């Protein structure tokens, strides 16, 4: 493999919580252990869901925990021109189509897209808003996850496709498009992220194929839940990380990652150096979920 390039790519819907710090730390340690580059990208493509000041808070939290990234921070909100270029390329090569289907129409087809609009190569003349979908082929999507092993997309019922939205009706770029274009442009070849978006990997695989690029290697971590079983997330009001407790936060995240625990006398920078040296993917849990009450080291 060429030189390792990884990334952490949070959405600014709120400050980082323990679950997002755990993911950031895993991505950081994996990259640094393999002498790789670690990038920071802010996925600020959905203004209605974003919280004012969240980008600055995310950056402050990473800095407070000494998770220092390489190169400049990339903001997806500044990359619209690039996404439009890729959309035009996909249209020119027959890989996309305009879709006017409503949610009500598609609700009857939960297992796939019925292909109603596959012949629409131009925007509706009546002025109706339209999404843009990627036209997927019949190839079976499979990949080997570094932690979860062999993954295969379930076969769709006859008459249904895996076609998915890459630009929304409200003219916002879909996550799947932006993340693939950005990872290609940044040279990202290893992605460490949460198991809750493992299924997105199949859609992204179709995009990589359409754009004639090789997908990264993936490692999907267990999702962190609160003791009551709810996923730690900004939507579920997970408490923000306390930047004044950096060492304790890192040690808690290391426990969830089942990594060797650094000696207690080490300060935060030396704790990270120890953890970079002793990082081992084999110790990671393969469970789908972990709770903040878990100490998987026993």
User: Could you read off the pLDDT of 61-115 as tens digits, one per residue?
Assistant: 999 999 999 999 999 999 999 999 999 999 999 999 999 999 999 999 999 999 9
- Token representation of residue 110: 């939960």
Q: What percent of the chain has pLDDT over 70?
A: 93
Binding site annotation covers 143? no
Residue 43 labelled as part of a binding site: yes
In this predicted structure, what is the pLDDT of residue 297?
A: 35
Distance CA 253, CA 26 (A): 9
Task: Write the CA distances from 269 to 30, 92, 247, 257, 273, integer angstroms.
Answer: 16, 50, 9, 18, 6
208 pLDDT tier (thresholds 50, 70, 90)? very high
- CA neighbor of 21 nearest in space, from 49, 51, 60: 60
Contact partners, residue 159, CB within 8 Å, separation at least 6: 114, 115
Q: Which of left, alpha, beta for 141 (phi over 0: left; psi -120 to 50: alpha)? A: beta
The DSSP bridge partners found for residue 39 are 7
What pLDDT, in 10s, does the model give residues 224-241?
987 766 666 666 567 899
107 is in an annotated binding site: no
| CA separation for the pair 33, 56 (Å, rounded) | 27
135 is an annotated ligand-binding site residue: no
Q: Binding residue per annotation — 208?
A: no
Report pTM.
0.92
Domains of the chain: which residue ranges? 5-78+182-291, 80-175
Asked whether residue 28 is marked as a ligand-binding residue, the answer is no
Looking at the DSSP bridge assignments, the partners of residue 151 are 143
- Was 275 annotated as part of a binding site? no
Q: Are 5-78+182-291 and 80-175 in the same CATH fold? A: yes
3-state DSSP assignment of residue 281: helix
Q: Give the phi and the psi of residue 226 in degrees, each rounded to 5.
A: -70, 165
pLDDT of the residue at 154: 86
- Does the annotation flag 47 for ligand binding? no
pLDDT in tens, 70-82: 999 999 999 999 9
DSSP state of 158: T
Residue 296 has pLDDT above 90, yes or no: no
In the chain, alpha helices (H): 18-33, 54-64, 80-92, 103-106, 175-186, 200-210, 246-256, 268-278
Q: Is 113 assigned to a binding site?
A: yes
| 193 labeled binding residue | yes
Give the pLDDT confidence score for residue 250 in this predicted structure. Answer: 98
CATH 3.40.190.10 for domain 80-175: no
DSSP symbols for 187-252: T--EEEEEGGGTTHHHHHHHHHHHTT-PPPEEEEEPEEE-TTS-B--TTTTPPPP-GGGHHHHHHH
- Both tokens of 50, joined, read 């974003």
Known binding residue 262? Answer is no
CATH of 5-78+182-291, one of 3.90.470.20, 3.30.420.40, 3.40.50.620, 3.40.50.850: 3.40.50.620
CA distance 264 to 259: 14
178 is in an annotated binding site: no
pLDDT tens by residue, 261-272: 999 999 999 999
Q: Is 8 annotated as a binding residue?
A: yes
| pLDDT above 90 coverage of the chain, percent | 81
List, for residues 144-200, the tens digit of each pLDDT value.
999 999 999 988 888 899 999 999 999 999 999 999 999 999 999 999 999 999 999
For residue 295, the model assigns a pLDDT of 43
């Amino acid at each position: 493999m060429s030189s390792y390039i990884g990334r952490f790519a949070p959405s600014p819907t709120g400050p980082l919580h323990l679950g997002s710090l755990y993911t950031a730390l895993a991505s950081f340690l994996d990259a640094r252990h393999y002498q790789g580059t670690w990038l920071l990208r802010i996925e600020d493509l959905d203004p209605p869901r974003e919280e004012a000041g969240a980008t600055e808070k995310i950056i402050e939290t990473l800095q407070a925990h000494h998770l220092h990234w390489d190169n400049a921070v990339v903001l997806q909100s500044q990359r619209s021109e690039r996404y439009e270029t890729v959309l035009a390329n996909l249209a020119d090569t027959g890989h996309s189509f305009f879709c006017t289907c409503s949610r009500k129409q598609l609700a009857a087809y939960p297992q796939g897209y019925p292909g109603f609009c596959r012949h629409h190569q131009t925007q509706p003349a009546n002025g109706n808003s339209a999404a843009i979908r990627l036209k997927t082929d019949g190839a079976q999507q499979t990949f080997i996850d570094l932690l979860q092993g062999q993954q295969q997309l379930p076969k769709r019922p006859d008459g249904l496709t895996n076609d998915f939205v890459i630009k929304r009706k409200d003219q916002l770029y879909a996550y799947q498009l932006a993340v693939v274009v950005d990872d290609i442009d940044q040279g990202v070849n290893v992605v460490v992220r949460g198991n809750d978006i493992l299924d997105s990997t199949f859609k992204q695989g179709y995009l990589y194929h359409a754009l004639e690029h090789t997908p990264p290697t993936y490692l999907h971590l267990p999702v962190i839940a609160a003791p009551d079983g709810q996923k730690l997330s900004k939507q579920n009001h997970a408490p923000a990380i306390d930047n004044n407790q950096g060492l304790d936060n890192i040690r808690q995240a290391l426990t969830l990652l089942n990594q060797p625990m650094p000696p207690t006398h080490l300060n935060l920078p030396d704790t990270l150096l120890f953890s970079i040296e002793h990082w081992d993917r084999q110790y990671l849990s393969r469970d789908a979920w972990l709770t903040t009450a878990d100490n998987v080291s026993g």
